[in-house]
Amino acid sequence: MKRIEKTIWLLAAIIIAFSAASCSDTDAKADSVVMTDSSGVIVREYTTNNQTFYAQGKISNALEGTKIRFVWSYTTDDQMIDQFEYSAKQSSEVIPATLTTNGDFPAGDYKLELFVGNRKKPDASVSFEVKQISSYIAFALLTDSIDENGKPGREIDTVEPTGKWFASAYIVDTQPNTIVHFVWLDSNGEKIDENTVDPDGKSYTYIFAVHSLSSTAPDGTYSVEIYIDDRTTPETTVSFEVEDVDRQRNEAENADYSVYVQTKGGFMINYPTAWTCLPFPDSLSAMFYPKEYVIDGEDEFNSVYVYKIDDLGFTTQEALDGWILATENENRENYEPLQSSIEQVNGSDMALFTYAWSRNGYDLVTSDFLIVDGEDLYVISSVATDEVLEDMYLYVEQMVLSFEIL
């Protein structure tokens, strides 16, 4: 009986010994090592914008406490950057590793090697690349304002000859110490001002410059060039027109106008004599448009449409609210409401709703003027492309002011 018990004890000892021997430093190995992004997705390259490299090393058959060594190298210059040691906690595990710099990793080729114990040759390695990346301007524009967060207001291509001009740009992949230069040029290409802007290393953000005029600028085509650091070629150039809007308004006010009267629709309106008038009395409407702004296949664009809707029974506020809701429900491309108000025009309430939208590659602005007369609603609707909006709108204002219900 004692002999049997002793045999069982010896067998157990042998099993334990074999079990321990099956998981030793000699058998421990690094199965793989990979580079990842911060979320663990495998990558094969970084950019000079990255300040941290992420990696994962997988080991197996390791005793607890087995030493695992990570060695980072910049192979372009055959230079070891850093290393650190890790003590295995389990037989098999995935070990995360990072390498961080306070500045920039230089562009070039890199390698990460994993060594198990005191082995001289790596058990696993991975090569990766750091690519040089440069700051650039994604887009730039001239705008009528800059808000408290530095974002541009409405894009414009014409400015007044006095006051302030605002240029805005969207910078991407900003490098540390990047500086942006805005250079303002007159119609002769001569520099009239320069603004230097420091994005503070921020990327994917708006930056802006302001040119304050000390005297009246002559009419003409001006531009602002945007440079990054000491580059001699501008990243982008924005051209714009300088025109006296007051002078343009005076021209619109004093232009030659014809009178259109529609008895069936019960309204009359003045329109620029140089424009084309298309009456549609059966639908209680009429259309007016300047021939020079006609776009083939897009009859609605760059036109003014006047029409009457019978028997709605709305107040001006109800008409405006319903109009805005109906417009929103049309699901227009790039729809953006810009302005809504009720004002006194010629002694009566008039509602205005202005919105931006797009169709067939054209950026558009629609201004709808609503006039309630008893149970009926009259609408003056102007649709203009961005390119002609400012010029057309001065004449639309005169048409609206001339509108009368018969």
The CATH code of the domain that includes 239 is 2.60.40.1930
Q: How many CB atoms lie within 10 A of CB 158?
A: 15
CA dihedral 242, 245, 250, 255 (to 10 degrees): 70
d(CA 327, CA 366): 11
Which of 243, 272, 307 corresponds to the end of one domain?
243
Identify whether residues 161 and 69 lie together within a single domain. no
Same domain, yes or no: 219 and 290: no
Rounded to two decimals, what is the model's pTM? 0.47
**Same structural domain, 271 and 398:** yes
Same domain, 54 and 178: no
Q: Is residue 292 part of a domain?
A: yes
> Quick check: is 12 in a domain?
no
Question: What is the DSSP track for 283-334?
Answer: GTEEEEE-GGG--TT-TTTTEEEEEEE-S----HHHHHHHHHHHHHTT--EE
Residue in this structure with the two tokens 């910049």, named with its chain if needed: 74
10 lies in a domain? Answer: no
Quick one: 259 and 209 in the same domain?
no
> What's the domain count of the chain?
3
- 394 and 262, same domain (yes or no): yes
pLDDT at 250: 82
Q: Are residues 29 and 85 in the same domain?
A: yes
Of 191, 208, 243, which residue constitutes the final position of a domain? 243
State which of 112, 131, 150 marks the end of a domain.
Answer: 131
* Residue 139, both tokens: 């887009």
pLDDT at 269: 96
Please report, in tens digits, the pLDDT of each residue of the chain (406 residues total): 433 343 333 333 333 333 333 445 568 888 999 999 999 999 999 988 788 999 999 999 999 999 999 999 999 999 999 999 999 999 999 999 999 998 779 899 999 999 999 899 999 999 999 998 888 999 999 999 999 999 999 899 889 899 999 999 999 988 878 999 999 999 999 999 999 999 998 989 999 999 999 998 998 999 999 999 999 999 999 999 998 767 777 888 889 999 999 999 999 999 999 999 999 999 999 999 999 999 998 989 999 999 999 988 889 999 999 999 999 999 999 999 998 999 988 888 999 999 999 999 999 999 999 999 999 999 999 999 988 888 898 899 999 999 999 9
Regarding whether 302 and 368 lie in a shared domain, the answer is: yes
- Listed residue (95, 97, 100, 102) closest to 112, CA to CA: 97
CB 68 within 8 A of CB 57: yes
Domain of residue 175 covers 136-243
Question: What per-residue confidence (pLDDT) applies to 6?
Answer: 36
Residue 259, in any domain of the structure: yes
> 183 pairs with which residues across the strands?
194, 225
Residues 260 and 391 reside in one and the same domain: yes
Question: What CATH number is attached to the domain comprising 313?
Answer: 3.40.1000.10
pLDDT at position 25: 52
